[in-house]
């Protein structure tokens, strides 16, 4: 004897929180002075603090002078000035930090 097959399907709607959009971004510090070879971390503040997508993309307008990695670490390469910009993936909000690079003068010599 064959029993008829029964298929049961239950659908429970998932409650999804609405996405929280980015409303702005700022950078700290907004300016910095570095010697060649120095590194500095720039800290982005994406608003609101509970935004769903807090991803930022980093760019330098003058990579021969200052480079920036995907974590916001800038490296002073040569004397000059560069603007480092953090742009949010959500909304395209941007904030800029101006980095000035100078040669570090020798302040003294010690002989032994």
- CA nearest neighbour of 96 among 65, 49, 60: 60
Mean pLDDT for 48-54 is 96
Give residue 78's pLDDT band: very low, low, confident or very high (50, 70, 90). Answer: very high
CATH 2.60.40.1080 at 24-102, yes or no:
yes
Residues ≥6 apart with Cβ < 8 Å to 13: none
Cα 72 to Cα 50: distance, rounded to the nearest angstrom: 20
Q: What is the pTM of this model?
A: 0.78
* Stretch among 5-9, 20-24, 56-60, 104-108 having the lowest mean pLDDT: 5-9
SS3 state of residue 75: strand
Sign of CA dihedral 80, 30, 23, 43: positive
79 DSSP 8-state letter: S
Of 8 and 46, which is predicted with more confidence? 46
What is the structure's pLDDT at 7? Answer: 63
What is the structure's pLDDT at 6? Answer: 56
Contact 85, 99 (CB under 8 A): no
């Amino acid at each position: 004897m064959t029993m008829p097959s029964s298929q049961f399907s239950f659908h429970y709607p998932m409650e999804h929180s609405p996405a929280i959009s980015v409303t702005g971004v700022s950078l700290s510090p907004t300016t910095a002075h570095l010697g060649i070879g120095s590194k500095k971390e720039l800290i982005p503040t994406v608003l609101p603090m509970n935004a769903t997508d807090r991803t930022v993309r980093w760019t330098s307008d003058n990579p021969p002078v200052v480079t920036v990695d995907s974590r916001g670490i800038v490296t002073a390469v040569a004397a000059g000035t560069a603007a480092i910009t953090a742009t949010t993936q959500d909304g395209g909000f941007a904030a800029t930090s101006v980095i000035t690079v100078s040669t570090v003068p020798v302040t003294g010599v010690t002989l032994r």
